Amino acid sequence: MRRFLRPGHDPVRERLKRDLFQFNKTVEHGFPHQPSALGYSPFLRLMAIGTRSGAIKLYGAPGVEFMGLHEENNTVMQIHFIPDQCQLVTLLDDNSLHRWSLKQHGGASELREEHRFTLKGPPGSPPSAMQITAVLPHSSREVLYLGTESGNIFVVELPSFRVLEDRTITSEAVLQWVPEDYCNRRSCELVEALLEHPKNPDQILIGYSRGLIFLWDLQNNKVTHLFLGTQQLENLYWQRDGSKFVSCHYDGSYTQWPVSSDNRQPQPLENLVPYGPFPCKAISKIYWQTTKNGLPYIIFQGGMPRASYGDRHSISVVHGSQQTAFDFTSRVIDFFIIFSSEPTAEFDDPSAMVVLAEEELVVIDLKTAGWPAVHPPYLASLHCSAITCSHHVSNIPLKLWERIISAGSKQNIHYSNMPWPIDGGTSIAPDPPQRDLLLTGHEDGTVRFWDASGVCLHLLYKLSTVRVFLTDADPNDNMNTLGEDEWPPLRKVGTFDPYSDDPRLGIQKIYLCKYSGYLAVAGTAGQVLVMELNDEDAEHVVDHAEADLLQDQEGYRWKGHEKLKTRDGPVRFEAGFQPFVLVQCQPPAVVTSLALHSEWKLVAFGTSHGFGLFDHQQKRLVFVKCTLHPSDQLALEGPLSRVKSLKKSLRQSFRRIRRSRVSSRKRRGGSGNASEVQEANAKFDQDMLQEMELAPVQRKIEARSAEDSFTGFVRTLYFADTFLRDSSRHCPSLWAGTNGGTVYAFCLCVPPAERRMDEPVRAEQAKEIQLMHRAPVVGILVLDGRSTPLPEPLEVAHDLSKSPDMQASHQLLVVSEEQFKVFTLPKVSSKLKLKLTALEGCRVRKVTVANFSSCKTDDYSENDLAVLTNLGDIQIISLPFLKLQIRYPCIRKEDVSGIASCVFTKYGQGFYLISPSEFERFSLSTKWLVEPRCIVDMPEVTSNSHVHTKSGTENAARKS
């Protein structure tokens, strides 16, 4: 035992280990969890997203990504880029300001926090008075204007964040310009909006929440114009030439105001409630964009009739007679418009609208008729239906890759062809070394194919298995059947749809053969579909077969869900992967393991009751084996998982309600609210925690016995061509491992290709190994004569792998949750073992063979086991000697779903979910490292050619 604790320090090996292994978390794929703020720099053409956990992420051209994390983990409330600079300022909900900058370092840009600052009032003043509500980075880049809850506007110097007290604009100073009858000397309330005049940087527009709006002259410290709004103000927007601005209001109205030198207290030009006359929800943000043809684009968020559409998350675009209310699947956090920011341009000419909703990013092409959506190259909503499983396939052959892309492009015809409008920065990362696919199975019965080769996880193709089945919800039943003259003109956009029609459709296991294009997909209700890639649409009948896994068992009754009803007759399938056979397990329990052998044309599947082998060439069931222990009533009667998942889903829905309740509250009426709610929330969580801690924390120490529940649960299936019976002849074999520590080996007789259709495939049980420690078997592997894992099916046929060594004797590696064991073959006797749990108290959750190449020499590579434990550690264990090489902490051990979601690639990378919508990508290899590496060059600012700012302001201040 002690020899495990003190591994021999072979200096050569130690050096080699350094050349082979290295742990990095490289990039987060997917959509940020709980986004809370959005910012955009037209100058850098970068978008920034802040989250409730204090993360800030910058995105530009595909591959250009930066990430930062605020130490405090507080919600990011606002993000503002400093005009013409590689800098941005974030406001957190603890009222702190943080200045971040993009600086080049070692050839690539990095995002770094440089300064932090909290606005403090004079001693004795209430803290809420200093709560920042509006931030205006002035185009001079020297100061920030900070509107506060008290109505005062503070000026802080950049980059030092020094408060310039003499330049503070107090609400009292402003109020003296207001006619007595208007305000009755009431305070102005909080500063809702601060905007710089687009043409004259010495003037700023100040909007107070009560509706009062001033144009303030910074030079002379006086009000130049006064606009007496009567409605509670939500936001303001300058028109490009500075002659007018728009205000939007809490009652769902917007108002245009003229700004001219002849009238210092003008009346509104126009006041409109777009979705009146009935009471409407607030319009919280508005854009007024001019175009060449004279018709403006008026784009506003909200304003829906309160009673009938108050629950919609909408943004309306009005352009002449065209009007569409884009209806988002989740709450709109913020949005911005990409328009011509050239100062010389006369018109805004908006090209795209970028909307950050709570669960997805939607970009609308405003140039193309019909305003189609643009397919984002990143920030994909992985969780548009909850992810139930994932499968990674490395090094996809070009042919298959192109066919998948072509199938996918047929699905994406309704997207705009517009090039991605957010294109700042340059990616200097090397091209991905190979084409990798990540397949995710979802609760709604779909499988999504992601391009996981590079930094941008990009959806290539989406496969739905729903068509094979009859479900309650008819797929043709379109929710979006609004008539022509429907009012408001709502249009659903976005793909986020977390509600599954039927949980039985959920995908549990996926297996893709990259050489043949065969795909096997298995689901929650015991359905196993085998599919083939077809480049054309086709209509055909899906063959059915039943696999009764309880054959020999009598008198048992399945109390779980029923199997899915299938559609009779031919079914039309779109180009892509088309199912040709359906194997239905009986009882229809969750499929827990799946293996496909494309060369032998066999698919093996297992549930909690047993496993079976299906010949998908002849469409014939070869055999089934019941693995159930007679006393295991639980597995017999129904899925425990169902009870669990019901509980889980209930819990989650409560959580969702709670969260949405919190997040839907706008920071209204003061500092207090949001943070109070959050505090309450935190307190609630804490209470929960305490409650949990109060429960007696003690663990029973008991040996596992044969009678434990779910011992028959099939955890792993493996095909191998090896020496199962004698050392002179090898034959195809199928291996299955169960939860109770049993390994079954079946000898298969597959007829040669020319007689493949004439003779049946035969199988015969050859071996049964019972691990005495009875821990679940999570991996089975056969090593060839050179101790190399056997190649995948068809790998040798495609010349992508050396043929296995069939001369020397093979070895069998069985990985249980607790131990790694190497046995000899064909006579099974124990050769080597590593007792992981006994030594370290951790258990194996995931295990894969990974190939590691040296970063120093091109010609050295080796196979090792990459292991994820229940503690969230990743260990690399050598083959075939089972020596622990290295260990890295990777996932928090409390993050059960993260650990459960982890997948390893064949070349030492991996993915796990850090939130329902984000995969963290990590690398264990020194050689294969996919991480963003990019440069954001600051455009030259010496000349005046780049004089434009966030709000399209011409920057006259620079001259002065």
Partner 1 sequence: EFRRFSLERSKPGKFEEFYGLLQHVHKIPNVDVLVGYTDIHGDLLPINNDDNYHKAVSTANPLLRIFIQRKEDADYSAFGTDTMTRKKNVLSNVLRPDNHKKKPHIVISMPQDFRPVSSIIDVDILPETHRRVRLYKYGTDKPLGFYIRDGSSVRVTPHGLEKVPGIFISRLVPGGLAQSTGLLAVNDEVLEVNGIEVSGKSLDQVTDMMIANSRNLIITVRPANQRNNVVRNSRTSGSSGQSTESSLPSSTPNILANFLQGEEESDEEDIIIEDSGEPQQIPKAAPTSESLESLTQTELLHEPTQNGFLPSTEMNLNHSAGSISMEYEVQGSDCKSLEEDGTIITL
Chain contacts with partner 1 (rule: CB under 8 A)? 1-2, 630-631, 696-707, 725-728, 764-773, 775, 818-819, 821, 827-830, 833, 835, 837-843, 870-871, 893
Instruction: Looking at 227-300, list the stretches that DSSP marks H as alpha helix, in order from N- to C-terminal side.
Output: none
Q: Which is nearer to partner 1, 320 or 841 (CB)?
A: 841
Residue 725 Cβ, how far from partner 1 at the closest point, in Å?
6
Residue 720 Cβ, how far from partner 1 at the closest point, in Å?
17
Q: Which is nearer to partner 1, 202 or 840 (CB)?
A: 840
Q: Which is nearer to partner 1, 1 or 694 (CB)?
A: 1
CB 743 within 8 A of CB 611: no
41 phi and psi, to 5 degrees?
A: -115, 110
Residue 729 Cβ, how far from partner 1 at the closest point, in Å?
9
Q: Which is nearer to partner 1, 25 or 831 (CB)?
A: 831
Q: Which is nearer to partner 1, 536 or 726 (CB)?
A: 726
Q: Which of 670, 675, 671, 666 is nearest to 250 (CA)?
A: 666
CB 37 within 8 A of CB 334: yes
Residue 788 Cβ, how far from partner 1 at the closest point, in Å?
23
CB 233 within 8 A of CB 207: yes
DSSP 788: P
What is the Cα–Cα distance from 798 to 83, expressed in whole angstroms?
A: 56
Q: What is the rounded radius of gyration, in angstroms, for the C-alpha atoms of the chain?
A: 32
The amino acid at 436: D
Q: Is 421 exposed, middle or buried (0-12, 13-18, 19+ CB in 10 A)?
A: middle
Residue 632 Cβ, how far from partner 1 at the closest point, in Å?
11
Residue 702 Cβ, how far from partner 1 at the closest point, in Å?
6
Q: Which is nearer to partner 1, 409 or 830 (CB)?
A: 830
Question: 3-class DSSP state for residue 650?
Answer: helix
Q: Which is nearer to partner 1, 157 or 768 (CB)?
A: 768
Q: Which is nearer to partner 1, 2 or 414 (CB)?
A: 2
CA distances from 784 to 8, 443, 486, 789, 804 (A): 27, 38, 68, 6, 6
CB 123 within 8 A of CB 939: no
Q: Which is nearer to partner 1, 515 or 823 (CB)?
A: 823
Query: Please, which residues bridge with residue 866 across strands?
Result: 848, 876
Residue 111 Cβ, how far from partner 1 at the closest point, in Å?
35
Cα angle 945, 950, 954 (rounded to 5 degrees) comes to: 45
Residue 647: in which H helix or E strand, if any? helix 640-663
Q: Which is nearer to partner 1, 210 or 821 (CB)?
A: 821
Q: Which is nearer to partner 1, 600 or 723 (CB)?
A: 723
Q: Determine the length of the chain.
A: 960
What is the Cα–Cα distance from 953 to 201, expressed in whole angstroms?
A: 8
Residue 629 Cβ, how far from partner 1 at the closest point, in Å?
9
Residue 607 Cβ, how far from partner 1 at the closest point, in Å?
22
What is the Cα–Cα distance from 295 to 282, expressed in whole angstroms?
A: 24
Residue 419 Cβ, how far from partner 1 at the closest point, in Å?
52
The answer to whether the peptide bond before residue 350 is cis (omega within 30 degrees of 0) is no
CB 172 within 8 A of CB 221: no
What is the Cα–Cα distance from 190 to 207, expressed in whole angstroms?
A: 9
Residue 745 Cβ, how far from partner 1 at the closest point, in Å?
9
Query: Please, which residues bridge with residue 570 across strands?
Result: none
Q: Which is nearer to partner 1, 829 or 943 (CB)?
A: 829
Residue 866 Cβ, how far from partner 1 at the closest point, in Å?
20
User: What are the tokens at 403?
Assistant: 């066919």
- Contact residues for 528 (Cβ-Cβ < 8 A; gap 6+): 520, 521, 522, 582, 583, 584, 585, 591, 594, 603, 605, 614
Following DSSP, what letter does each residue of 844-883 receive, concatenated? EEEEEEEEEE-SS-TT-EEEEEEEEETTSEEEEEETTT--
Q: Which is nearer to partner 1, 806 or 935 (CB)?
A: 806
Q: Which is nearer to partner 1, 393 or 769 (CB)?
A: 769
What is the Cα–Cα distance from 73 to 77, expressed in whole angstroms?
A: 12
Q: Which is nearer to partner 1, 801 or 870 (CB)?
A: 870
Residue 785 Cβ, how far from partner 1 at the closest point, in Å?
15
Q: Which is nearer to partner 1, 691 or 758 (CB)?
A: 691
Residue 887 Cβ, how far from partner 1 at the closest point, in Å?
14
CB 120 within 8 A of CB 130: yes
User: What are the tokens at 602?
Assistant: 């066999």
What is the Cα–Cα distance from 254 to 271, expressed in whole angstroms?
A: 6
Residue 740 Cβ, how far from partner 1 at the closest point, in Å?
12
Residue 841 Cβ, how far from partner 1 at the closest point, in Å?
3
> Which is it for strands 222-228 and 620-626: parallel, antiparallel or unpaired?
unpaired
What is the Cα–Cα distance from 174 to 166, expressed in whole angstroms?
A: 15
Q: Is 475 exposed, middle or buried (0-12, 13-18, 19+ CB in 10 A)?
A: exposed
User: What are the tokens at 402?
Assistant: 């192109």
Q: Which of 153, 245, 253, 249 is nearest to 194 (CA)?
A: 153
What is the Cα–Cα distance from 42 to 64, expressed in whole angstroms?
A: 15
Residue 743 Cβ, how far from partner 1 at the closest point, in Å?
9
Residue 547 Cβ, how far from partner 1 at the closest point, in Å?
21
The amino acid at 324: T
Following DSSP, what letter does each residue of 678-689 receive, concatenated? HHHHHHHHHHHH
Q: Which is nearer to partner 1, 388 or 869 (CB)?
A: 869
What is the Cα–Cα distance from 475 to 465, expressed in whole angstroms?
A: 12
The amino acid at 363: V
Q: Which is nearer to partner 1, 665 or 831 (CB)?
A: 831
